[in-house]
Amino acid sequence: MGNKSWTTPGASRDAQREGKRRAVLQAGARLFNDQGYEQTSLEEIATALNITKRTIYYYVDSKEDILFGCHLLGLEFLGETMAQSQDQSLPVMERIALLIRGYCAWVSTDFGATIAMVREQSLSADRRTALRASKAEVDFQLRSLISEGIAESSLRPCDPRLVAAVVFGALNWIPHWNRVENPVPQEDIAEQYLQLVFQGMVPAQS
């Protein structure tokens, strides 16, 4: 193959296979985000990895399989953020900040950006339904946190659905404008967004 990074010395067969499959997904995600899902071929993904198209089929069944695999890996990362934001021992404001920071970090990765940049219609009906259900969980989590903040008076009364729509709309737009030569660090983006969100939602001090 001529690709030294394709094989990890000393790794088990299962670990080798999983590593290679992840490499296929990573290459696919990067190309999907850079040039579009429809415009990317399996041949281009194989070329990016310095392997043959035939080799790719050992690890995925199709281009759609790569796209859905990217989404699953991205959501796996986001699941850790979701778990942290459900920690009842933390103040609700801190949990909201954890969720927004984590989502910002996630959508700034190749895997996370695929959900924001690639149309759901590129997936089959069953996979599209599964993806929407996972995204709805994140939306529901933020709405719940906002509702909790309103109930304890740490946030102003508002419609949690509208606030969540504004927050995720802004976050999902990040890969559309920040995939440039000198991107704004995602940490800086998250802090700026948090300032805007909380300035509009935290009650004025009397």
Tell me what pLDDT residue 77 has: 81
DSSP codes of every residue in 28-46: HHHHHHHH-TTT--HHHHH
Q: CATH homologous superfamily of domain 70-201?
A: Tetracycline Repressor, domain 2 (1.10.357.10)
Question: Burial level of 85, CB count in 10 A (0-12/13-18/19+)?
Answer: buried
CA atoms 50, 54, 58, 64: torsion sign: positive
- Digit-by-digit pLDDT tens for the chain (206 residues) are 445 456 666 668 888 888 999 999 999 999 999 999 999 999 999 999 999 999 999 999 999 999 999 988 888 888 888 898 999 999 999 999 999 999 999 999 999 899 888 888 889 999 999 888 888 999 999 999 999 999 999 999 999 999 999 999 999 999 999 999 999 999 999 999 999 999 988 887 65
CATH T-level topology, domain 4-56: Arc Repressor Mutant, subunit A (1.10.10)
| pTM of the predicted protein model | 0.85
Closest by CA to 100, choosing from 169, 36, 11, is 169
| C-alpha radius of gyration, the chain, whole number | 19
Domain boundaries, the chain: 4-56, 70-201
Instruction: Kindly list the distances between the CA atom of residue 193 and the CA atoms of 57, 92, 167, 196, in Å, as whole numbers in the listed order.
Output: 41, 17, 8, 5
Tell me what pLDDT residue 204 has: 74
CA distance 167 to 179: 19
CA distance 39 to 144: 39
* 23 contacts 66 by C-beta, under 8 angstroms: no
